[in-house]
Amino acid sequence: MSTPIPDEDSAATDDSPIPDDGGDGNRKRAALYIAPFVVLGVGNLLLILTWGVNPLWGFAILPPILFISVIGWVAFKGGFVHERDDAVDGEYDHESAWE
């Protein structure tokens, strides 16, 4: 199987616009959605450290908080959550057993 090589002339004359997903709005919205979880996680971390627990526990707890927050931010920014929601609503119309 070989991939066809595009002509240089056809690539230069292709005037199709580059899709723009409005990245600034998605990034801000994702940060807005994830911020409460980051605040809760860092608040828990500070609470644990003020109780006088060994500071090593702070270093053990902080990476999972940040990791999950970054994964959530990427999910909201990339639209994984929104696209999945649209697919479920539009593509899989079926009767629910609970209705």
Would the pTM of this model clear 0.85, i.e. be above it? no
Residue 85 confidence (pLDDT) above 80: no
Mean pLDDT score of the chain, rounded to an integer?
75
Does residue 33 contact residue 72 with C-beta atoms inside 8 Å?
A: yes
- pLDDT given at position 65: 92
Does residue 47 contact residue 82 with C-beta atoms inside 8 Å?
A: no
Does residue 11 contact residue 27 with C-beta atoms inside 8 Å?
A: no
4-46 pLDDT, tens digit each: 676 665 555 556 555 555 556 688 888 999 999 999 999 999 9
Taking residues 51-66, report their average pLDDT. Answer: 89
- pLDDT given at position 35: 94
